[in-house]
Every structure is written in structure tokens, then in C-alpha cells.
A and B are shown apart, each in its own frame.
Chain A
Amino acid sequence: MSEDKVTDGRDFCETKTCAEAPPPARAMGWRELYLKEDWWAIYLGLGITIVALLAFLNGSKLVQTLSINPGGLKWTTLGQVGAYFSANIGTYLLQMLCWLVIFGATTRIMGMKLSEFIPSFIILYLLSIVMFTISGWAHAAQYNLEPPLVALILGLIIANIIRVPKWMDSGFRVEYYIKTGIVLLGATFPITLVLTAGPYALIQATFISVATCLVIYFAATKIFGLDKRLGAVMGVGGAVCGVSGSMAAASAVGAKKDYMYISVTLVVVWALVMILFIPFVSRALGLPAGVAGAWVGTSEFADAAGFAAATAYGHMAGNENAAIQGFTLMKVIGRDMWIGIWSFVFAMIACLKWEKEECQTRPNAMEIWWRFPKFVIGFLVASLFMTLLTAGYSQAAFNGVVKPGLIMPIVSLRTWAFIFCFLSIGLTTRFRELKSSGLKPFIAFTIGVAVNVVLGFVLSVYVFGGHWAALGK
């Protein structure tokens, strides 16, 4: 970094609160176990699963009752909606209180203020009720009112027209909700599916990750002459996990903060485009739900945005399970593991090539583990745990007893977590806050997006299509 201009002071922040002197940095060490949301997502997801299991084994209806949602109402008149909520108002209040306590307490431990989280979450919960109610309308599918898309659009409208204050982001924790939802998803996801389809997902993810990263990196640096660090930040962002990938790469190569701005803008804009593009193109082409899910998992940039697209197409195709399974295998099992690998690779390149005069010690390979998205472990543990527990039931007993008494309540609670997430994406996307990326970075990233989408389509439909099409059957 010897060529860097040393700038003055603490001028990186644009808000009054942030511009105050920061607290001294501290090494996290084992405190990570209660300061990182990945671990809390594991604790919550596995905790809810265990409580649901204990209730099921003891014949208790508590979790079944608390997992209520109006998504399956199939109402045709507002009078029916009114009557339904009048009859169930107490249960919904209790459910809101439960969510508020578990998410409020854990975000407080991570350092957020309850005075900000509580009002924000209550609004999020009420909007989620509205989303479920819309999806429960008998004619919702006829008008393409897919819950993830409606939630996203409603959130975008509120955030950009009404102007939601920044402090409310304390309750709009996109990543926390999706990670919790993914661990809960693991509880209904057979581990046998991970073992049989996982290797194909890893192969497809490897192709796409390497191709997309290299295309963006070389387009940025060789065609447009942009800084190598910017190429790395955009490349990993496009190849792996959007903003999270960019953040990991940025710290690995010591990128300028402006590069993060650029990458965040590009990822957010293209992720929003893909949430709409892939489901509607898939429907026009009549793709099986599992195939479209795998395509979303290959070509969408973030877990949260991908789940929105996969769930939306699952609704359109009438097989939500297959679309979510295809997406999860490709994105959560296949692509997310690349975050640490790319970070380590670029840290090595930066150390051995870009800064070889100054870099005295090689980056640590443990970087791959430190950056690993730990919630994936929760997903796998939940999957293994529930698969083993339910293995002894016959198909008839599973469908007649286990599914309604244990699986469906967990599915409903997972759906709540996903709806919180989809709304939060829209509510935290303030277009006025996004910085202009500049034309060259935009074109370089877009070339990578084009390669990613086409290659993802070919791999998902033609190369591995047979495997993905079999999902959900």
C-alpha cells in the first residue's frame, strides 16, 4: 500500500452518529459465538426445531398453534379476513411476542438497541401479516401476487417514497432472518438429498464461480484498466455471494472503501433485476421448478435475493419445494463455500504479487474457515438430525402423523422468517443512498453477469438438468 495517499482522520462516515469517535477495536476470539448472527441463526434454528420435536413427541399443540399464518386462507371477501383475524387475534399477538423476544434478545446481545429494534420489528411483523393475507387471497396466483415479489416491491415503495428512517434497519435484518430460515429449512431437507445431489451442485458451482470471477476480474483490469483490487472485489461479489463476497475480498486485498460502494451498488441493482428476470423467463420457458431453482442458485448474487426468486418461481410452477431444494443445493451447499477460498486466493495474490516488497508473512489458510458462512453448518446439522429422527417412520405414518404434527409447523415458521427477510430487502434498499458505480465498473460487472446467467442456464438446463428436474418428486 506504499502508493497510498494517507488521508486525514475519521472522514469515512457520513452520519452524525457514525462520525463520533469509534469504540476501540477488540479481537473477537470465542466471543464470536455470541456476537455473530451466523451462530445465533444456528442456535435459533436448532432450538426451534428441538422445541417443535419435543412438543410433537409429547402430543402438545403449542408449536402447531404458534406457527399459524393466514397464507392458506383462500379468502374471497374482506369479511372472511376480518372474521379470521377476530377469531385468532390472541394467537397472533402471542406469536409476535415470541418472535420479538427471540430476535430482540439476540440482536441486543449482538449490540443493537432494543429501543430501535422493537418498533421496527413490530412494523415488520404487521407488514408480514399483510403479505401472508395477500398470498392467502383465492385469486392471488391469477394476478402474479407471489409473496416474495409483493413483499419486495412493497418494501421498495415504502423505503423510497415514505423514506424509512435509518435507525429502523435495526429490525430489518435481512441476513439474520434468511440464515435462521435456512437452518429451519435444513430441518425439512433430507440429508440424503444433500449427499446425492450435493456433488453435482459442487461441480456446477465450481464452474460458475471460477468463470464468473475470472471474467469480471479480467474485464475490469485488462479491458477497462481498473485497479486490480476493484477487479477482485467485483469478481468475488459476482461469483460467490454478492455483497458478502465483496466484503470478504475487500478485506483480503485491503481495497479502498470506494470499491465497496461500487460493488454494493452493482450487486444490489443486479440482484433486484434477477429476482424478477429469472422467475419470469423460467416461466416463459416452462422450466421444471427444480431446474429453475438451480439456475437461480447459480446466477443470483445473494442468498436472500435468491430465496425470493426461487420461492416466487416455486409458487408460479406449483412446486415450491423443488425450486427451494434446487436453489439451496446450488447456492448454500455449492457456491457459498467459495467465499473463504476466493478470499484466501486473492489475499495470497495481493501478498505475493501486488505487495511482494512489503508483505513478509503469507496469509493464513485458516482464512477459509474464518470466512466460512457458519449457518451452513446449522443447515446440515438440522438436516441430519431430522432425517435420522424420522427415518423409522413408514411413508404412511410420516405423511399422516409426522408431516402435519412436526414438519408443517417448522415449514410455516421458516416461511415467516423468509417473509421477514423479503420485506427487509425492500425496506433497506434506498436507491438515493447507493453511490454511482461509474460506467467502466458497471460494464465489467455486467459482462460477468451475462456470462454467469448464460452459463448458469446451460449448466442447470442441459448439463445437469436431469438431476435438478427430479427434485421435489
Chain B
Amino acid sequence: MKTRRPETAGVSCLECRHFVNDPQRIELSIPGLNTLSSAFGSVRGEAGLCARLDRFVAPWVECRAFEKTGN
């Protein structure tokens, strides 16, 4: 996993078809998350779930499992 700054990202999670950062999806997929927290809060930033690696990742991360959205 390579970590890059958002402004320099080109092939990052944010453009990857496996990346899910919709807050409602995140809350649905992690039971209990909304009990004492929220995926709609600032602390999450734009982080989301990688459906392929099953990890919670920052949006500017890039990795070998990248697949462009729409492919």
C-alpha cells in the first residue's frame, strides 16, 4: 500500500471501483458503528471500505488491487 497526499493522487482509492465511502453503506456494513459514533462525522474524513481487501482505508491510498471506477 502506498500512501500519497490527496492533491497528488492519481490512481488512488478514490478512483477505485472497490472503494466505498458512502456513509450510509459504511454504517450498514459495520454494525454498532452508529451507536456511539457516525460515518457522517468529521473524524472519518473521506475514509472508506475497500471491498476487495476488506480494509478501512484513507481515500488517497493506492495499492496493487486498484481498478478504475467504471471498468
Give the B-binding residues of A (Cβ under 8 A): 1-2, 4, 6-15, 17-18, 22-28, 32, 35-39, 110-112, 166, 169, 172-176, 179, 241-245, 247-248, 250-252, 254-261, 264-265, 267-268, 271, 301-302, 304-305, 339, 347, 350-351, 355, 358-364, 367, 370-375, 425, 428-430, 433-435
- Residues of A contacting B58 in the complex (Cβ-Cβ under 8 angstroms): 251-252, 254, 347
| A361, B36: Cβ atoms closer than 8 Å | no
- Residues of A contacting B61 in the complex (Cβ-Cβ under 8 angstroms): 254
Contact of A359 among B2, B56, B65 (CB under 8 A): B2
| B25, A13: Cβ atoms closer than 8 Å | yes
Question: Considering the complex, which residues of chain B in the window 38-71 have a beta carbon less than 8 Å from any beta carbon of chain A?
Answer: 38-49, 51-59, 61, 63-65, 69-70
- Residues of B contacting A367 in the complex (Cβ-Cβ under 8 angstroms): 45
| B56, A176: Cβ atoms closer than 8 Å | no
Given A301-B36, A425-B35: A371 in contact with B42 (beta carbons within 8 A): yes
| A243, B35: Cβ atoms closer than 8 Å | yes
Give bound CA distance, A90 to B49, whole Å: 46
- Residues of B contacting A35 in the complex (Cβ-Cβ under 8 angstroms): 40
Q: List 10 A-B contacts (CB under 8 A).
A: A4-B53, A14-B31, A25-B13, A25-B14, A25-B48, A38-B42, A173-B40, A254-B58, A360-B3, A362-B3
| A347, B3: Cβ atoms closer than 8 Å | yes
Give bound CA distance, A65 to B33, whole Å: 36
Give bound CA distance, A339 to B48, whole Å: 17
Select from chain B the residue with minimum beta-carbon distance to A434.
B32
Given A9-B52, A11-B51, A260-B30: A174 in contact with B38 (beta carbons within 8 A): yes
| A38, B41: Cβ atoms closer than 8 Å | yes
Closest 5 CB pairs of A and B: A251-B47, A243-B37, A175-B38, A433-B31, A1-B1
| A248, B25: Cβ atoms closer than 8 Å | no
| B2, A373: Cβ atoms closer than 8 Å | no
Give bound CA distance, A33 to B49, whole Å: 22
Given A174-B35, A302-B36, A430-B31: A37 in contact with B41 (beta carbons within 8 A): yes
Least Cβ–Cβ distance between B35 and chain A, in angstroms: 5
| B35, A428: Cβ atoms closer than 8 Å | yes
| B37, A25: Cβ atoms closer than 8 Å | no
Give bound CA distance, A241 to B5, whole Å: 25
Contact of B32 among A257, A264, A339, A371 (CB under 8 A): A264
- Residues of B contacting A39 in the complex (Cβ-Cβ under 8 angstroms): 42
- Residues of B contacting A28 in the complex (Cβ-Cβ under 8 angstroms): 46
Contact of B36 among A25, A243, A373 (CB under 8 A): A243
| B21, A429: Cβ atoms closer than 8 Å | no
Of the listed residues A244, A374, A375, the one surrounded by the most CB atoms of chain B closer than 10 A to its CB is: A244
Give bound CA distance, A247 to B42, whole Å: 11
Give bound CA distance, A39 to B13, whole Å: 25
| A254, B34: Cβ atoms closer than 8 Å | no
Least Cβ–Cβ distance between B67 and chain A, in angstroms: 11
| B56, A250: Cβ atoms closer than 8 Å | yes
Give bound CA distance, A23 to B25, whole Å: 9
Give bound CA distance, A271 to B31, whole Å: 16
Contact of A37 among B35, B38, B69 (CB under 8 A): B38
Least Cβ–Cβ distance between B42 and chain A, in angstroms: 4
Least Cβ–Cβ distance between A30 and chain B, in angstroms: 13
| B43, A371: Cβ atoms closer than 8 Å | yes
- Residues of B contacting A430 in the complex (Cβ-Cβ under 8 angstroms): 31-32
| B3, A243: Cβ atoms closer than 8 Å | no
Least Cβ–Cβ distance between A293 and chain B, in angstroms: 19
- Residues of B contacting A362 in the complex (Cβ-Cβ under 8 angstroms): 3
- Residues of A contacting B35 in the complex (Cβ-Cβ under 8 angstroms): 174, 243, 264, 268, 425, 428-429
| B43, A12: Cβ atoms closer than 8 Å | no
Select from chain A the residue with minimum beta-carbon distance to B45.
A370
- Residues of A contacting B70 in the complex (Cβ-Cβ under 8 angstroms): 24
- Residues of A contacting B19 in the complex (Cβ-Cβ under 8 angstroms): 25
Give bound CA distance, A363 to B48, whole Å: 17
| A244, B43: Cβ atoms closer than 8 Å | yes
Give bound CA distance, A175 to B37, whole Å: 6
Give bound CA distance, A110 to B27, whole Å: 14
Contact of A22 among B14, B20, B47 (CB under 8 A): B20
